[in-house]
Amino acid sequence: MKAIEIAGLSFRHDVRDAAVLNDISLDLDLGEIIAILGPNGAGKSTLALCLLGLLPRESGSIRLNGRDIGELSRAEMARRVAYVPQSTRSAFAFDVAHMVLMGRLAHIEGMGSPSRHDRRFAEKSMEQVGVWPLRGRLFTELSGGERQLVLIARALAQDAPIVVMDEPTASLDLGNQGRILGLVRDLARTGKSVVMTTHLPDQAFNLKCKVALMKAGRLTAIGPVAEVCSAESMSALYGAPLDALTGGIANELTAFAPRLG
C-alpha cells in the first residue's frame, strides 16, 4: 500500500476561474521524499493544501494509506499528515516548548490537555531537531531559520507518517538550508513520507529524491531527480534559459543558474 495516492486531482477556486490544479496524479511510498518543483503560481502550495484536506477537490481522489481523505475526520487527518507551513506569523508570543507541544493535540481527544507522555514526546522532538536550547524563547523573537526548525519539531511531535512542507527553506541562508535538508533526509530514514515544495532543484539532487515538475496546474514530469532534471527540462519549466552547473567534488549534485541574455 502506498503512503499517498493522488489520482486525477483537479481544483479551482471558483467555477468561473481556470483550474489551479489540473488532473494531477502521483503516488509516494513510505519513507520516500518527493520534491515538487515549478515556477511561482504553478499550484505547488495549492497541491499541498489539497493533500492536507484544506481545500475542496473538484474531482479526483487522494488516498492516504489506502483511505480516501474525504472519509477522514480532521482529527484522523491530523494523525496521518503533519504540516510545516511556509512561515507562521503568530499574533501571540508562544514560547517554543508550547509551540511544539501543540503538535501533540492531534493525539488528544476532545477536551483533554497534554499529558506527561505528550510533554516528553514534544521534548524528544525538540531534541531531535536541535531546538531544545530554544525551548524557553518566544517564537515571535526567533530568526527565520529557528522558526522553521521549531515548526519541524512541532510536525515531528504530531507523529504523523506523512509530512507536508511548503517551501521549508524559503528565505533561509545556506547553513540553515543544509540543516533543514538534513532533517528531511532523517525523517525519510525513520520511515516518514515527505512532500516538499521548493524552488531549488539542487536540493532534490542533494536528497536524491523523487521529483515532480509542475507548470500551470499540471504535472509535466515525475521521476527520480537525475532523470527528470536536465538543463532542457528546467529551462522549459521556468520558461527561461538555464545552465546546469555540475562536476567538481559533488559529482552527483547539479545546480541550475539563469543565463543572462
Residues within the interface to other proteins (CB under 8 A): 49, 52-54, 73-75, 77-79, 81-83, 85, 88-95, 97-98, 102-103, 105-106, 108, 111-114, 119-120, 123, 136, 140, 158
As a whole number of angstroms, the distance between CA 189 and CA 30 comes to: 10
**How is residue 161 written as a grid cell?**
507518517
- Which amino acid would we find at residue 6? I
Query: Whole-number minimum distance, CB 231 to other proteins, in Å?
Result: 36
Query: Whole-number minimum distance, CB 99 to other proteins, in Å?
Result: 9
Question: Considering beta carbons, is residue 61 or 86 the nearer one to other proteins?
Answer: 86
Question: Considering beta carbons, is residue 128 or 140 the nearer one to other proteins?
Answer: 140
Number of Cβ within 10 Å of residue 255's Cβ equals: 16
* Contacting residues for 215 by C-beta, under 8 A, at least 6 apart: 38, 39, 42, 237
Question: Considering beta carbons, is residue 24 or 82 the nearer one to other proteins?
Answer: 82
Query: Whole-number minimum distance, CB 162 to other proteins, in Å?
Result: 11
Query: Whole-number minimum distance, CB 182 to other proteins, in Å?
Result: 24
Query: Whole-number minimum distance, CB 148 to other proteins, in Å?
Result: 14
Bridge partners (DSSP) listed for residue 62: 6
**How is residue 113 written as a grid cell?**
490537555
Question: Considering beta carbons, is residue 144 or 223 the nearer one to other proteins?
Answer: 144
Query: Whole-number minimum distance, CB 220 to other proteins, in Å?
Result: 27
* Contacting residues for 134 by C-beta, under 8 A, at least 6 apart: 96, 126, 142, 146, 150
As a whole number of angstroms, the distance between CA 16 and CA 1 comes to: 37
Question: Considering beta carbons, is residue 93 or 250 the nearer one to other proteins?
Answer: 93
Query: Whole-number minimum distance, CB 111 to other proteins, in Å?
Result: 4
Question: Considering beta carbons, is residue 114 or 201 the nearer one to other proteins?
Answer: 114
Distance (Å) of CA 77 to CA 70, 82, 135, 197, 223: 10, 9, 27, 20, 27
Question: Considering beta carbons, is residue 98 or 185 the nearer one to other proteins?
Answer: 98
Got the DSSP string for 89-153? Answer: --SS--BHHHHHHGGGGGGS-TT----HHHHHHHHHHHHHHT-GGGTTSBGGGS-HHHHHHHHHH
As a whole number of angstroms, the distance between CA 78 and CA 72 comes to: 10
